[in-house]
Structure 1
Amino acid sequence: MTHPAFTLVRRTPIVSLHLTFEEYRHNKTGARHIHLAAEDSNNVFMVTFLTVPEDSTGVAHILEHTTLCGSERYPVRDPFFMMTRRSLNTFMNAFTGSDWTAYPFASQSNKDFDNLLQVYLDAVFFPLLEPLDFAQEGHRLEFEKVDDVNSPLVYKGVVYNEMKGAMSSPVQRLVIALNKYLYPTTTYHYNSGGEPSDIPNLTHAQLKAFHASHYHPSNAAFFTYGDLSAERHQGFFETCALSRFESLDTHLSVANEQRFTAPQAITLNYPIGEQEETEDKTHILLAWLLNNSTDVRENLNADLLAGVLLDNSASPLRHALETTDLGLSPSALCGFDENAKESCFVCGLEGSNPEEAEAVEALIFDVLNEVAEHGVDASLVESVLHQIELAQREVSGDGMPYGLQLLLQCVSPLLHGGDPIAFLEIDEALNALREDCKNPEFIPQLTRRLLLDNPHRIRLVMQPDSTLATQELSAEIARLATIKAQLTETAKQQLIEQAKILKTKQENSSDPDILPKVTLADVPADLFIPEGTQRAIANIPTTWYTRSTNGMVYMSVAIDLPALSSELLEYVPLFCDCLSEVGCGERGYRENVAWQALICGGLGTRLKICSSVDDPQIVRSTFVLSTKSLIRNQQATAQLLCDTLSKVRFDELGRLRELIEQIRSDQDNGITERGHEYVSAVANSGISPTAAIANRWYGLEGLLAIRALDDSLTDSTALKALGQKLTQIRDAFLTAPRQLLVVCEPEQQVHLAEILETCWQTVPAVKLNNPLFQPAPVKRLIRQAWAISTTVNFCAKAYPVTAANHRDTPALIVLGDFLRNGYIHRAIREQGGAYGGTAVYDGEKGVFRFLSYRDPRLSESLHDFDRALDWLQQSKHDARVLEEAILGVIGRIDRPGSPAGEAVNAFMAGLHGRIPEQRRALRQRILEVTIDDLQRVAMTYLQAERASVAVLGESKILDTLEGTWERRTV
């Protein structure tokens, strides 16, 4: 059935995805509705708008934020974040792309879904867009000392600080520059997130005008997925929004780019620390504008070519980029990008130097000319086709709901005039591509047409500049000084008054009962956890999970971490990083990675270090090697898993050198993007062995260690010693206690068991009484300040608390949400201007921590963490606030994943004592937590003298910190 306000355009089954595609048009406004009807209770909604900024003020991004700050029907201060607390959602977010803005959510509860749908519809179509919300979320001027007109002016605003943090990353700067010069005449030329220097130019009136012109139903596309009917959704669309609109010719579209007649070369700078060396830190990219991304065949052609050239170390262009002395590693941006209306292909190096630009370009063209002249091996083409097929087949959904992932594939084609069905059902196009690939000239022809004969190309060189950060800061200070000099006394007082009014608004609580909600009575009685069965393989304990995997098989071996020497222990993460990238048995590394691509979805490694459910100082450590494959390749993949464990080689010394350089380069480029993870790891590191190891392996200590290792590998002797250490780790893992995990469909189990039995009989047996890794207890206070090159800060404060099974743990879990909802969000984000702040219990480490990220403040945020605890003890709290915190926790616990992911998570949790009975009991105890419990556990565990503290920030900002700190430099 179709709602009377809509007309059905078409209905098409998509057999490979087990769903039906339905397309509708709203009769009056022309709004489009795509519904994917599927037998899935995790229903998804998303409304999208084509948004085409004409400058870099971040108008679309700031509108996304302010849209969610109150609406006509729900005039509360923060309905979006309030609904995250009054919901059992499995996903809630909003995001701004380069040419569209989306507002998605998902829920397994029909009542909750309807609640969220009404709030979202009112938010996007009837937002209040009040000036104070614009000032809070976008940008505003305040005095450094809010009530002192003699202090300097400063810029504040959530988006402003978010983008200052984003632009501290060289890779983010590279992306923005790439779009600016590859798309010089279309909307992609601009930074849709907002350039920090341009954001203050946006006015409130311009924001409202952008909403009026872009957020109209005639420019809207609704997307839904799941087992609720399209007609049901359309009833809400019509009643809550569409009935109040008439058709509007918005005239919005993205034009095709004007094509270059000749390639262009651009050189830009990016900031690094004043004391940092500039050598080997230049990014050199080549980028080509390709075809309209609404053409699925052209997309597949370009995706295939990019895969053939770059997918892995067996690919000719990646091999050339990995092995050249012109730079450290292939650029993180290498590959095919179809996110814009017209797609692009990018390749290049990071860790180079400006004078190598010509040589890098020549290297790339040498490879392209070689491919155009002689082609590539047919097996390489087949491996890329296999990876495309595998990605199409897999039912994902662990990080983002599967239905939302499918809907996102439809957005760009629909908004730019393409056919979304073609991007969901690609079997016909893929079969046609396979036929084309039988012609050995097909890849050479693509190389010539898309790249060699395509003049719309740029060479982008982005080099480090140790003075640029100071220049940019000086320009901002001068701009603010000029503004201040032009302010009248009245204007100065108005700024003080605005700051007071905004603070009052932020501190005043809105009436939450205006918003719909679910209650604890709506929480499902039970927690779904897949149950496995036990059936040994070659005397190895094996857990089998029967799941609907759409013809895919998932296999893993889990190995208890053996007792290694302290020297070898430091190399375990490196062993994991290199394992799938080196040779195996008779295969060298290039042959090995090519074989992996041909038969499976790659090899994944995972180190799970987790505290005992009864004592944070007792640790269980597990190494997991995993793979996935189509059924037809299960035998080859099973053998690959065994061979990798027993025959992996670390004797190709040049390859080891390349891998270390790549790992170092990747970590160096991700410091500011991962700042919140790093600061958390430092603060946690004195609390438990698990936390200490996490910092040594994956924190800033690990980053410094990989740099030192890279610097030490100056000759073949050092490289050979490294290879020997990694081989020793392999040998130790090979005889340590192990288990197998298999996830597949029931009809595959008998044959797969026979395959695995044969494979694993060839692997050396486990040594009896093999000693296992058990680190010493860790109990020490941390107070560290790390200097990094950034324009924003990251703060963390951590306390030692209880293990998972302790009676106080449920209250500590709820306390995190309670403090974040009631105090931290307001103080850190709304008032402090940080992009985010949180409080959370981490049972794997026995830690409770506070965190702020992309934060303009340091000491003030640390004080706010303490004030949150004062607020908890001194204020009177409504039972509603407790219920909201509990709902948030239960929503995360109950969140579904992919069929295979749920099984893998259940298995891994069980290995570390989180068996189904324990998890269900903990969930039930969470539902019974009281406010008295929250106050008691905070008083018991979150005492000032027990706190470890860590901050990351620019060196001069760290100088303003109060008290004594251990200073470190990244």
Structure 2
Amino acid sequence: MTHPAFTLVRRIPIVSLQVTFEEYRHLKTGARHIHLAAEDSNNVFMVTFLTVPEDSTGVAHILEHTALCGSQRYPVRDPFFMMTRRSLNTFMNAFTGSDWTAYPFASQSRKDFDNLLQVYLDAVFFPLLEPLDFAQEGHRLEFSTPDDAQSPLLFKGVVYNEMKGAMSSPIQRLLIALNKYLYPTTTYHHNAGGEPSDIPSLTHEQLKAFHASHYHPSNAAFFTYGDLSAEHHQDFFETRALSRFEPLDTQLSVGNEQRFTAPQSVVLEYPIGEHEETEDRTHVLLAWLLNESTNVRENLNADLLGGVLLENSAAPLRHALETTDLGLSPSSLCGFDENAKESCFVCGLEGANPENVEAIEALIFDVLQDVAENGVEPSLVDAVLHQIELAQREVSGDGVPYGLQLLLQCVAPTLHGGDPIDFLDIDDALNALREDCKNPQFIPQLARQLLLDNPHRLRLVMQPSKTLTKQEETEEIARLAEIQAHLSEAEKARLIEQAKILKVKQETPSDPDILPKVTLADVPADFFIPEGSARAIANLPTTWYERSTNGMVYMTVAIDLPALPPELLDYVPLFCDCLSEVGCGERNYRENATWQALICGGLGTRIGIRSSVDDPQVVRSVFTLSTKSLVRNQQATAQLLCDTLSKARFDELDRLRELIEQIRSDQDNGVTERGHNYVSVASSAGISPTGAMTHRWYGLEGLLTIRQLDDSLTSPNALKTFADKLTQIRDAFLTAPRQLLVVCEPEQRATLATILEQCWQSIPAVKANSPLYMPTPVKRVIRQAWATATSVNFCAKAYPVTSANHRDTPALIVLGDFLRNGYLHRVIREQGGAYGGTAVYDGEKGAFRFLSYRDPRLSESLRDFDNALIWLQQTTHDERVLEEAILGVIGRIDRPGSPAGEAVNAFMAGLFGRTPEQRRALRQRVLAVTLEDLQRVAMTYLQSERASIAVLGDAKALDKLDGQWERRTV
């Protein structure tokens, strides 16, 4: 049935996705509602608005933040974050894109879903948008000593600091510059997140005006998914929001870009540290503006061409970019991008030098010209078509709910005038594409039409600068000094008063009972863990999970890491990175890349290192090699899995050189984007073998190891020595104890068992190898300060605590949420201006960590970590706050994944002693945690003399730290 305020436009089943597409229109305002009806209790809601910035003040981004700071029906300080604590949500967020803003959530509980729906509707349509919230979330002026008008003036604000952090990443700068110059006359020209230099120009009045013109039902699209009916949702839409609006006379839209008549060229700079080298640090991109992205067939054409050129190392353009001496690796921005109203294609190099820009452009055009004249191998085309089909078939949902992933595919076409069903049900368009591909001239024609004959092309060069950071800092200081010099006494008094009033507001608790909630009584008695069954294959222990996978098969081989000599140990992560990227058996690496793309969804490698459930100093390490395929390719994929393990070739030395350069380039460009992960790992490195090895392999120590290796591979002999080490690791893994994991639909099991039996009979037998030795115990206090080029900081403080099975572990798990909800969010984010602050128990490393990220402060945040523990012991706490913390933990435990992902997670957890029985027992103990438990475990384990600290920031910021620090540079 349809709600009387809506009219049904159409209802169409999409068999391949197991959903029914329903489209509705609100009769009064014209608001659109797309509902995907599915037999899935993890219901999803999302409301989106076309948001079209006309400058780079970040108005859409700041509005997204500020809208969630209180509304008419729920006038509390931060209902969004408060609801994350009063909910069993499986996903809850808000995000700003380049031309639209979305507010999604998901929940398996109908009561919880309805609670969240009411809060979200009121937040977006009726926000308070108070000046103090704008000052907190967006930007404000404040004296460095808030009550001293003689102290230096500062810019503060959560979004302001978030974007300063984002602009510390060279890849983010590159992406924003790409949009700015490829789309010079449309909204994409502007930095929708906000340019730090422009954000302070936004006024509160402009923010409110933007909300009034953009957050209106006539400009809105509602999206829902799951087993709740469209009518159920529409009743809330109408009664809680839509009935209070009149239609707009005009609707917002994004225009098309004015086309270049000739290619354009731009040269820019990005900041690096004063002591860093500039050689091999330039980014060179070529980008073309293509067609409107609302046409699914044109998108598929461009996606196909992009895949044929760049999908893997067998693709001609990627091969040219990987093997050239003109740069280190293909740009991480390479590929087809359909996120804007008009799509684009990008290719280029990282790690280049300015004198080679012309040669790089010539290299790219040589490849494109060759494709236009001679075409490509049909196998490359077939491989890309296969990857498109596989992506359409797979039921995903690990991390982001499957329903939300489907809805996100609908957003851009819905908001830009396309047909969203075309982007869900692509079978007809894909079949038509296959027919076109039978014409050998189809790819050459696309290369000419979309690229060679397309004058709307941009060449973007971004060079490193040792002085840009200082220049930007100097400009900001001068700007603030100019503002401060012209402040009247009354204006100074107002700034001091604003800081005082904001601090009072931040410290004054809101009445949480205004908001709806679920309670512990609403928590299900149990949660779902898929159960596997055992049936050996070729004498290998094998665990089978029968799941509804929509015609796909998932296979994994898990190997206990064997003892390795010290000279091999640091190369284990690189072995994982290289294993699927090299040749195999008779196939060289390019032939192997094509074969993988033709039969499966790639090969995934991973090292799992986790502490014992009974002792953090006892560790198990497991290597996994995984793949997925359509049922029709299961035999070839099973053989590929075996062959990769036994026949991977490391004899193509030039290929190994390219891979190490690519890995290094990726690591170097991602320091600030991964800064919070790096300091988390570094702070735990002295707590347990797991922490030490993670830092050594995947932390900042690992990054330095990769740099040293890359610098050393300057001769064929050095490369040969490296290749021999990788081969030795392969041989050691090949005879180590192993077992299989298979996830498939029930009807595939018998056939697949026969296939696997044949494949694994030919693999060398397991030997009685010793497991990888990790020195124990690891117990030392770390105090490290890592310097890099960044305008924000990352802080972590870690304490050694308990194993997973310890009686105090449930209290430590809940304590993380309790400290974040009650103290850290307010002090680190709201008052301190960091993008985030949290505390968490890490059972893998036996650690409890505090963390802040994209943080304008250092020492102050570290002190706040300590103050959180004082607050815990000296404050009288409401039982409600404990309940909220427990709900947050239970929500994460119960969060569903994809059918295959849930099975894989259950299997991997079991390998490390996290059996279903152990997980269920831990969940029950979490539900029984008391306030006294929290205070007791904090007193017992979180003692200052046992704390390890790691921070990442600019060298000048690190100079201001108190005490003795081990200084490192990355």
TM tier relative to shorter chain: over 0.9
2:413 matched to 1:413? yes
TM-score, normalised relative to structure 1: 1.00
Q: Report the Cα offset of residue 776 of structure 1.
A: 2.5
Count, aligned residues: 970
Q: Report the Cα offset of residue 275 of structure 1.
A: 1.1
Q: For 1:232-381, list aligned pairs within 5 A.
A: 232-381=232-381
Aligned to 1:718: 718
Question: Are the aligned partners of 1:557 and 1:626 in contact in 2 as well (CA < 8 Å)?
Answer: yes
Aligned to 1:939: 939
CA distance in 1, matches of 2:168, 2:146: 26
Aligned to 1:185: 185
Deviation string for 1:649-681 (max 9, x for gaps)? 111000000000000000000000000001111
2:646 matched to 1:650? no
Q: Report the Cα offset of residue 772 of structure 1.
A: 4.1
Aligned to 1:95: 95
CA distance in 2, matches of 1:491, 1:248: 39
Q: Report the Cα offset of residue 462 of structure 1.
A: 0.3
CA distance in 1, matches of 2:886, 2:771: 41
Question: Are the aligned partners of 1:619 and 1:775 in contact in 2 as well (CA < 8 Å)?
Answer: no
SS in 2 for 1:581: coil
Matched to 1:200, the amino acid is P
2:106 matched to 1:106? yes
CA distance in 1, matches of 2:124, 2:395: 31
Aligned to 2:925: 925
2:200 matched to 1:200? yes
- Structure 1 unaligned runs (5+)? none
Q: For 1:463-862, list aligned pairs within 5 A.
A: 463-862=463-862
Question: Are the aligned partners of 1:214 and 1:250 in contact in 2 as well (CA < 8 Å)?
Answer: no
Q: Report the Cα offset of residue 775 of structure 1.
A: 3.5
CA distance in 2, matches of 1:588, 1:676: 38
SS in 2 for 1:9: strand
Deviation string for 1:279-304 (max 9, x for gaps)? 10000000000000000000000000
Aligned to 1:215: 215
Aligned to 2:153: 153
Question: Are the aligned partners of 2:737 and 2:769 in contact in 1 as well (CA < 8 Å)?
Answer: no
Question: Are the aligned partners of 2:21 and 2:36 in contact in 1 as well (CA < 8 Å)?
Answer: yes
CA distance in 2, matches of 1:915, 1:621: 17
CA distance in 2, matches of 1:653, 1:622: 28
CA distance in 2, matches of 1:958, 1:398: 38
CA distance in 2, matches of 1:324, 1:789: 28
Question: Are the aligned partners of 1:582 and 1:649 in contact in 2 as well (CA < 8 Å)?
Answer: yes
CA distance in 2, matches of 1:803, 1:499: 44
Matched to 1:708, the amino acid is Q
Question: Are the aligned partners of 1:563 and 1:774 in contact in 2 as well (CA < 8 Å)?
Answer: no
CA distance in 2, matches of 1:77, 1:900: 40
CA distance in 1, matches of 2:148, 2:785: 29
Aligned to 1:868: 868
Question: Are the aligned partners of 1:280 and 1:327 in contact in 2 as well (CA < 8 Å)?
Answer: yes
Give the % identical residues: 84
Question: Are the aligned partners of 2:561 and 2:771 in contact in 1 as well (CA < 8 Å)?
Answer: no
Question: Are the aligned partners of 2:218 and 2:251 in contact in 1 as well (CA < 8 Å)?
Answer: no
Q: Report the Cα offset of residue 777 of structure 1.
A: 1.8
Question: Are the aligned partners of 1:620 and 1:774 in contact in 2 as well (CA < 8 Å)?
Answer: no
CA distance in 2, matches of 1:269, 1:703: 24
Aligned to 2:66: 66
CA distance in 2, matches of 1:509, 1:175: 40
SS in 1 for 2:949: strand
CA distance in 2, matches of 1:770, 1:67: 58
Question: Are the aligned partners of 1:288 and 1:345 in contact in 2 as well (CA < 8 Å)?
Answer: yes
CA distance in 1, matches of 2:75, 2:154: 30
Matched to 2:688, the amino acid is S
- Structure 2 unaligned runs (5+)? none
Aligned to 2:451: 451
Question: Are the aligned partners of 2:312 and 2:593 in contact in 1 as well (CA < 8 Å)?
Answer: yes
Q: Report the Cα offset of residue 774 of structure 1.
A: 4.0
Matched to 2:220, the amino acid is A
Question: Are the aligned partners of 2:219 and 2:251 in contact in 1 as well (CA < 8 Å)?
Answer: no
Question: Are the aligned partners of 1:268 and 1:461 in contact in 2 as well (CA < 8 Å)?
Answer: yes
SS in 1 for 2:649: coil
CA distance in 2, matches of 1:382, 1:353: 36
Matched to 1:350, the amino acid is E
Deviation string for 1:614-650 (max 9, x for gaps)? 0000000000000000000000000000000000011
Question: Which stretch shows the higher mean deviation, 627-636 or 774-783?
Answer: 774-783
Q: Report the Cα offset of residue 251 of structure 1.
A: 3.3
SS in 2 for 1:464: strand
SS in 1 for 2:869: helix
CA distance in 2, matches of 1:383, 1:301: 14
Q: Report the Cα offset of residue 276 of structure 1.
A: 1.0
CA distance in 2, matches of 1:542, 1:697: 29
Deviation string for 1:890-912 (max 9, x for gaps)? 00000000000000000000000
Question: Are the aligned partners of 1:621 and 1:773 in contact in 2 as well (CA < 8 Å)?
Answer: no
Q: Report the Cα offset of residue 712 of structure 1.
A: 0.3
TM-score, normalised relative to structure 2: 1.00
CA distance in 2, matches of 1:771, 1:548: 36
SS in 2 for 1:529: coil
Q: Report the Cα offset of residue 150 of structure 1.
A: 1.0
Deviation string for 1:133-181 (max 9, x for gaps)? 0000000000011111111100000000000000000000000000000
2:131 matched to 1:131? yes
CA distance in 2, matches of 1:162, 1:434: 44
CA RMSD between the two structures: 0.5
Aligned to 1:14: 14
Aligned to 1:229: 229
Aligned to 2:879: 879
CA distance in 2, matches of 1:814, 1:78: 21
CA distance in 1, matches of 2:279, 2:724: 31
SS in 1 for 2:885: helix
Q: Report the Cα offset of residue 769 of structure 1.
A: 5.0
Q: Report the Cα offset of residue 224 of structure 1.
A: 0.2
Matched to 1:820, the amino acid is R
